[in-house]
């Protein structure tokens, strides 16, 4: 078995029950899915051993974390993103098994970790009642029902109509993906065919896994069941190509985890554990970019920390929130980083717009990327836990940055924002280079609208969101789906022929939440990963109190 270890975690995964490994993976994905770099903030080995191991496990090898991460890398509109918010994602060749995981004709699913293929499925079935008990315990630890009292249905008719429009957009995007690209990673709506690409190392169905929670949240249950059936019968987790480890993690791991926690369907849990075992090998502290599909060993000893950038700060605050505000180290590092960001990067344009500049080799570059527009929401959700005298300041700063990002939309002909915009040579929140003028259905600006609406209930955020809906409908909707555009300043648009999976996972989900009541996925209980997959706040004490007891009083959720 290939499974990355943390300090104090046994090198042998055979001693861990399926549910134990799942929670171990959840804990990592709370930090890891938010970013692999957040492993820096994991508890010490004694705490990890107490949480994840039975009493007869032995300590094992200490490792670090993947260091080359990013969120949604700028690039040619034809390309998929390869990371978080700058730089390339760490790449890994995922194939670690010689057994097929799916027999398509018989529609049966096999595990793909060597001789353990059959060994784990029977114990998994035997533990289903216990697993159900643990899922029920998890639900008891939520402060509010995940879908709210009435599935977040707004009371006023205008907001409800707008929400229904977003739901219709999701169904339209999904139906066309199903018709023309089913099982492939993304839809090419102009040519009406599918796109696989090389980002996922041969894994398929990215749009399906990315859409699971969006379909469920929107109440598109027929479509959700179609997606679930595909995951159960056709999601082949064997890969023999080079893949972005980070993108596989945020989309596939994040999508499966959120689907499990929203629905309790065991198939998602089984699949995410299986995939997690492939993604978490042991590289002895430093992380080259490639893993051999044959030996499972790290190869091409190229180690890089490039591209951590601004995304790293998102992980800090979200790690703190996901820990039920117990991770004091992450909190301290986040607010220390915020102080440095304000001192060095936050700028005010001559026209009064607040923006976050970039730092290149000691020189300030007065440029802000669409990707950086997530920072309005990030600073907003971190405002309430900052120093008392700084809380209103942080909320104001979040609002100012979100306003600037809205300006980047409103100053274009299409009312959609460019990939990057500048604040120099007389430019204010506009792209000055042809290579920065494209829009590939990105979510970051709308993400900040959603957070700022939740935090302030200022109606302008819903109005700005509706402006984005109208622009998407006018300029990005085509006969067979939605497509990015090559120039947001052109009155006659040219489409890039790509319906990105993150459009279904993030852009439409954030719009739907923007027009929903706050009790749909309340922020007190859920933290959204980089791909907008909601993961639960981990209330460890509550889980221990409510968990079903097994093995000398230890719970599977421990």
* Cα–Cα distance, 220 to 554 (Å, whole number): 38
**What's the CA angle centered on 527, arms 326 and 216, to 5 degrees?**
145
Q: Out of 88, 419, 436, 558, which one is annotated catalytic?
A: 419
Q: Are strands 549-550 and 363-365 parallel, antiparallel or unpaired?
A: unpaired
Q: Catalytic annotation on 428?
A: no
Q: For residues 446 and 374, is the Cβ–Cβ distance under 8 A?
A: no
Residues 6+ apart with CB under 8 A from 475: 414, 416, 485, 493
* Residue whose C-alpha is closest to residue 141's, from 548, 467, 544: 544
184: left (phi over 0), alpha (psi -120 to 50) or beta: beta
Known active-site residue 419: yes
Which of the residues 314, 444, 496, 558 is marked catalytic?
444
The residue with tokens 């749909």 is 520
Residue 310 bears catalytic tag: yes
From 133, 213, 247, 266, the catalytic residue: 247
For residue 530, say whether it is annotated as part of any ligand binding site. Answer: yes
In angstroms, rounded to a whole number, what is the distance separating the alpha carbons of residues 444 and 447?
5
The reply to whether 76 belongs to the active site is no
**How far apart are alpha carbons 313 and 335 in whole angstroms?**
9
Residue 352, class by beta-carbon neighbours within 10 Å (0-12 exposed, 13-18 middle, 19+ buried)? exposed
Say which of 68, 120, 310, 314 is annotated catalytic: 310
Length of the chain: 558
Cα separation of 500 and 417, whole Å? 16
272-311: buried (b, 16+ CB within 10 Å) or exposed (e) per residue? bbbbbbbbbbbbeeebbbbbebeebebeeeeeeeebbbbb
Q: Which parts are annotated binding residues for Ca(2+)?
A: 530
Q: Which parts are annotated binding residues?
A: 530
Residues recognised as catalytic: 247, 310, 419, 444
């Amino acid at each position: 078995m290939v499974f990355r270890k943390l300090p104090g975690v046994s090198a042998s995964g055979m001693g861990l029950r399926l549910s134990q490994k799942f929670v171990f993976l959840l804990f990592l994905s709370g930090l890891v899915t938010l970013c692999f770099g957040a492993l820096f903030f994991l508890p010490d080995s004694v705490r990890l051993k107490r949480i994840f191991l039975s009493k007869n496990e032995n300590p094992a090898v200490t490792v670090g974390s993947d260091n080359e991460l990013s969120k949604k890398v700028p690039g040619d509109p034809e390309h998929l993103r390869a990371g978080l918010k700058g730089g390339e994602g760490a790449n890994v060749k995922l194939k670690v098994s010689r057994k097929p995981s799916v027999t398509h004709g018989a529609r049966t699913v096999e595990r793909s970790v060597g001789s353990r293929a059959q060994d784990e499925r029977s114990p998994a079935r035997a533990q289903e009642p216990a697993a159900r008990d643990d899922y029920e315990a998890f639900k008891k630890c939520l402060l509010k029902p995940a879908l709210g009292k009435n599935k977040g249905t707004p009371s006023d008719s205008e907001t409800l109509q707008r929400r229904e429009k977003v739901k219709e957009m999701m169904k339209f995007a999904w139906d066309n993906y199903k018709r023309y690209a089913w099982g492939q990673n993304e839809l090419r709506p102009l040519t009406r065919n599918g796109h696989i690409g090389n980002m996922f190392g041969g894994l398929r169905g990215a749009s399906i896994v990315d859409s699971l929670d969006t379909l469920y949240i929107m109440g598109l249950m027929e479509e959700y069941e179609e997606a679930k059936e595909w995951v159960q019968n056709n999601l082949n987790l064997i890969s023999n190509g080079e893949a972005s480890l980070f993108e596989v993690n945020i989309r596939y791991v994040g999508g499966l985890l959120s689907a499990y926690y929203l629905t309790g369907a065991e198939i998602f849990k089984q699949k995410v554990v299986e995939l997690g075992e492939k993604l978490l090998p042991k590289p002895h502290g430093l992380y080259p970019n490639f893993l051999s599909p044959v030996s499972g060993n790290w190869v091409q000893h190229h180690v890089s920390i490039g591209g951590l950038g601004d995304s790293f700060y998102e992980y800090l605050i979200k790690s703190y929130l996901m820990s039920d505000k117990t991770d004091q180290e992450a909190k301290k590092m986040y607010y220390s980083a915020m102080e440095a960001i304000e001192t060095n990067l936050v700028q005010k344009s001559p026209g009064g717009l607040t923006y976050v500049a970039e730092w290149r080799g000691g020189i300030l570059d007065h440029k802000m990327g669409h990707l950086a527009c997530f920072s309005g929401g990030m600073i907003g959700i971190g405002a309430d836990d900052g120093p008392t005298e700084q809380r209103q300041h942080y909320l104001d700063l979040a609002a100012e940055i979100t306003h600037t990002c809205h300006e980047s939309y409103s100053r274009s002909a299409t009312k959609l924002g460019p990939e990057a915009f500048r604040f120099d040579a007389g430019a204010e929140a506009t792209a000055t280079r042809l290579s920065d003028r494209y829009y590939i259905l990105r979510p970051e600006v709308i993400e900040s609208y959603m957070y700022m609406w939740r935090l302030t209930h200022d109606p302008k955020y819903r109005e700005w969101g509706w402006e984005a809906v109208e622009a998407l409908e006018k300029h990005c909707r085509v006969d067979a789906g939605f497509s990015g555009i090559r120039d947001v300043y052109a009155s006659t648009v040219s489409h890039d022929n790509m319906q990105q999976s993150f459009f279904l996972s993030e852009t439409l989900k954030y719009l739907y939440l923007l027009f929903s009541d706050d009790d749909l996925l309340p922020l007190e209980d859920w933290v959204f990963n980089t791909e907008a997959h909601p993961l639960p706040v981990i209330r460890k004490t509550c889980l221990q109190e409510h968990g079903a007891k097994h093995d000398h009083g230890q719970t599977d959720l421990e």
